[in-house]
Amino acid sequence: MDDIVVIGAGQAGASLVAKLRALGHMGKITLIGEEPAPPYQRPPLSKAYLLGKMELERLYLRPESYYAENNVTLLTNTTVQSIDRSDKVVIAGGRAIPYDQLALTTGSVPRQLPPAAGGLLRGVHVVRALRDVDEMAPDFTEGRRILIIGGGYIGLEAAAVAAQRGMQVTLVEMADRILKRVAAPETSDYFRALHQSHGVTIKEGVGVERLTGEGALDGAILSDGTELAVDTVVVGIGISPATALAEAAGLEIENGIKTDAMGRTSDPAIWAAGDCASLPFRGDQIRLESVQNAIDQAEAVAANMLGAETPYDPKPWFWSDQYDVKLQIAGLNMGYDGTVTRGDGPAMSVWYYAGDTLRAVDAMNAPRDYMLGKRLIEAGISPARDVVADPSANLKALLRG
C-alpha cells in the first residue's frame, strides 16, 4: 500500500484524503497545511462569515476529529518548504516526510497591491484566508469609508457586506465594466444596478494610482485624479495559482501546475488538483477557481492515484451571494459569441452561446433557469436562442424529448 502525502489542507486536499479512504485505501495518508485551522470552506469568508452570520465551526469541512478517526495524519501550522523528487520526500519544518505518491493541492495566492502603491499600509486587506477576514472584520463598522479595489466576485461580495454594515462604499474597477473577465455585459449591468440601489458608488474604467497614509491608511488617489478619504481598503484583484513549490521541484508549469486529464503532473508520482492545477480542456490548459472543481477534481485524482485511470470531466458550477440575490452559474462561457437573456426583472438569466451551442448560464434569483441550463448543457442540448428568450417557453420539455 502506497504512502500518500497531500500538500495543502484546503477544499481540494480535504476532499482528496476523504475520497482515498472512501475508496478503501489502507496506506498511510498525511495531509499537510500551513494554516492553523483544519480544512475549511472559503466562500462564506466574503459572505455570511464576514457579515457575522456564521460561526467559525460551521466553516470547517469536517469535524476536527474526522482526521484522526479516519487515520489521516493532519499536520496544521506546517509549511512544506521543498519536495525532493529523487528521494521521494517532502521537507516540512525540518522533517523529511516520505511518499510513494504525492498530491499538490496548494490553492492560490491573492494578488496584492505593490508596497510602493501603499499595499502594506495598515487597513489594507485581501480576502483569502480565515486570518484575513478575522483581521478585517473589526474594520467593517457603520459609517466608516471603505474602498474596494476590483469588481470581480470577491470585490462585489465584500462591497455587499460593507453596504449591509452601513459603511460608505466605493468600488473601483480598472476595466470598463465590473465582472468583465467572467461575465457578459447583461450580468455586469444587473450587479451594477443592484449595488447602486444599495448606495455603493461604482467607478468603472478607474484604477488606483496609490493609497496614502503614514503607517496606517488614510486615503487613495485614483487613476482619474480623484482623491478619496478612506479608512479601509479591500483588494480583490484576482489570484495566482500557488505553483512556487512545484516550480522549485522542476514540475512543468503552464497556467498553474500542468496536469493531464487524470490529474497527473509531469512527474508520474505527483498529482495536482484544485486552484493550483491546470487541466486540458478544449485544446487549452485551463484552471477553474471554484469549490465544485476543487472537490470533483480532487476526487477524480484520488481514484486515479489508486489506479482508476479515469479522465476528469469538469462539470463546472459556481455561485455568488450579494444582498438578497443568489447568482448561480452553470457551464463555462469561454469563447462565447452571443448571449440571450431570459426574464428582465429581479429574477433573470443570461445564456451564453458559441454559434448554436449553449455554453453557460448565469441565473440571478432564477434557480429554475439554472437547473434547466445545467441539465441542458450536461445533456448536450442547445435550445434555439429565440426559444430561450421567451420566458413562457417550456425548456424542460426539451430534456424529455
Ligand X SMILES: Cc1cc2nc3c(=O)[nH]c(=O)nc-3n(C[C@H](O)[C@H](O)[C@H](O)COP(=O)(O)OP(=O)(O)OC[C@H]3O[C@@H](n4cnc5c(N)ncnc54)[C@H](O)[C@@H]3O)c2cc1C
For residue 208, state whether it binds ligand X (rule: CB under 6 A).
no
For residue 9, state whether it binds ligand X (rule: CB under 6 A).
yes
List the one residue from 19, 83, 107, 259 that touches ligand X (CB under 6 A). Answer: 107
* Closest CB to ligand X among residues 91, 269: 91
**Closest distance of CB 288 from ligand X, Å:** 8
* Closest CB to ligand X among residues 16, 121: 16
For residue 35, state whether it binds ligand X (rule: CB under 6 A).
yes
For residue 106, state whether it binds ligand X (rule: CB under 6 A).
yes
For residue 327, state whether it binds ligand X (rule: CB under 6 A).
no
List the one residue from 2, 100, 252, 289 that touches ligand X (CB under 6 A). Answer: 289
* Closest CB to ligand X among residues 266, 292: 292
Instruction: Let me know how long the chain is.
Output: 401
**Closest distance of CB 282 from ligand X, Å:** 20
For residue 80, state whether it binds ligand X (rule: CB under 6 A).
yes
Question: Who contacts 380 (Cβ-Cβ below 8 Å, separation ≥6)?
Answer: none
Alpha-carbon span 107 to 258, nearest angstrom? 14
Instruction: Mark the segment that binds ligand X (CB under 6 A) among 140-148, 251-259, 268-276, 366-374.
Output: 268-276
For residue 296, state whether it binds ligand X (rule: CB under 6 A).
no
**Closest distance of CB 193 from ligand X, Å:** 21
**Closest distance of CB 132 from ligand X, Å:** 8
For residue 255, state whether it binds ligand X (rule: CB under 6 A).
no
For residue 315, state whether it binds ligand X (rule: CB under 6 A).
no
Instruction: Mark the segment that binds ligand X (CB under 6 A) among 26-34, 159-167, 223-231, 365-373.
Output: 26-34
- Residue type present at position 83: I
Q: Which of residues 234-253 bind ligand X (CB under 6 A)?
A: 242, 245
* Closest CB to ligand X among residues 270, 395: 270
Distance of CA 309 to the CA centre of its chain: 27
Grid coordinates of 224 = 482619474
The b-or-e profile of 18-41 (16+ CB within 10 A means b, else e) is: bbbbeeebeebbbbbbbbebbbbb
List the one residue from 113, 220, 294, 305 that touches ligand X (CB under 6 A). Answer: 294
* Closest CB to ligand X among residues 106, 187: 106
Report the interface residues with ligand X, using CB under 6 A: 7-13, 32-35, 42-43, 45-46, 79-80, 105-107, 127-128, 154, 242, 245, 274-276, 289-292, 294, 318-320
